Amino acid sequence: MKVVFFGTPQFAVPTLENLLNHPDFQVLAVVTQPDKRRGRGNQLTPSPIKTVAITHNLPVWQPQRVKKDTETLSLLREVGADVFVVIAYGQILSQEILDIPKLGCVNVHASILPKYRGAAPIQWCLYNGDKETGITTMLMDAGMDTGAMLLKATTPINLLDNAQDLAEKLATIGADLLVETLIGLERGEIKPIPQDNTEATYAPLIKKEDYQLDWSKSAIQLHNQIRGFYPNCITSFRNQPIKITATAPLDPTYLQELPSEIQEYLHKESDRSTLSGSPGEVVGIAKGIGAIAQTGDGLLILREVQLAGKRPQSGWDFVNGMRLRVGEVFENING
């Protein structure tokens, strides 16, 4: 089967590599976003997908706007692909492009559709505390993730999974599901199933304000926000911005899902009723782990933080390095 692959970030790499290593597929070309300036040196950097494509000597097309780029449109028509595979490409495809390949355009989407249509399904399912997510392959139409569904695969979400962990897990699942989908589609063994639009939910692009922590929220809400929008959630400490990158709700409800050192702490420190304060206040320090902060409902232990301009550090290193004291307060950035 002849394939043109549309994709950009690391999330799409396992799928492209699966196709390249599979004897039933020939990747004719790769379409990816233009190189972007990144890092302190502001150097032009290729996308992860482009890097893989170059390694395999594949043609790489990088239109600024694929719908309007006449050269790319001509190449897409001329190349003779059976199918276009699209995964986290980053641009909307026109109906003109969707109509080119004979089997259509197959998308790999990181949610159990019709839940979490849109740009950030992994982040929002974590933010909402979902216990399960997955991958859906679908035939693309002109809407935003509204096409007929082909195959699905699910996976549980663990309490300590963050957006990066879950993306890596789903990328592997998606790579295998896409191969199964294409083979089944070519053989006529898969019947596309229309989505029920009444059950649709949306996962919009994440905004700057979504990263700001509000300590009046509950411990589990803050934990889900921090892991969902990893590694960018921010608060203020000693009048300086600081990122909180890993936490755990200090609650026996989640005992079996907590790291062993926190389980041991909960067993040893059975009387946590003495730990209380105002939202954001450091009410205790767990030796070897990190600071314990009061929230609007429950306690949150800070397992990893990142000071401005520094690398992430363990919660315990932060306690020692800052000589943190009980009674100090993490404050809302906008408050």
What does the pLDDT look like over 55-84, one tens digit per residue?
Answer: 999 999 999 999 999 999 999 999 999 999
Residue pLDDT, tens place only, 155-169: 999 999 999 999 999
The binding site comprises: 111-114
Measured CA distances, 46 to 35, 56, 196, 304 (Å): 5, 15, 38, 30
The size of the chain, in residues, is 335
Rounded distance, CA 255 to CA 263, Å? 6
Query: What's the whole-number mean pLDDT along residues 255-281?
Result: 83
**Do 2-199 and 208-331 show the same overall fold?**
no
- For a pLDDT cut of 90, what percent of the chain falls above it? 90
Number of H helices, E strands in the chain: 9, 16
Could you tell me where the beta strands, DSSP code E, fall in 176-312?
A: 234-237, 240-249, 282-286, 290-294, 299-307
The pLDDT of residue 272 is 60
Binned at pLDDT 50, 70 and 90, residue 41 comes out as confident
Binned at pLDDT 50, 70 and 90, residue 273 comes out as low
- Report the CATH number of the 208-331 domain: 3.10.25.10
Three-state SS at 142 = coil
Q: Is the pLDDT reported for residue 253 higher than 70?
A: yes
Using alpha carbons, select from 119, 122, 138, 142 the residue that is nearest to residue 130.
Answer: 122
Q: Is the pLDDT reported for residue 335 higher than 50?
A: no
Rounded distance, CA 45 to CA 8, Å? 12
Structure tokens at 147: 């096409």
Q: Which CATH class is domain 2-199?
A: alpha beta
Q: Tell me the whole-structure pTM to 2 decimals.
A: 0.94
Burial class (CB in 10 A: 0-12, 13-18, 19+), 238: exposed
Q: Is the pLDDT reported for residue 85 higher than 80?
A: yes
The binding site for (6S)-5,6,7,8-tetrahydrofolate comprises: 111-114
Q: Is the pLDDT reported for residue 38 higher than 90?
A: no
88 Cβ contact partners less than 8 Å away, ≥ 6 residues apart: 7, 8, 9, 11, 12
Query: What's the whole-number mean pLDDT along residues 131-136?
Result: 98
Q: Domain spans of the chain?
A: 2-199, 208-331
Using alpha carbons, select from 49, 40, 46, 92 the residue that is nearest to residue 67.
Answer: 92
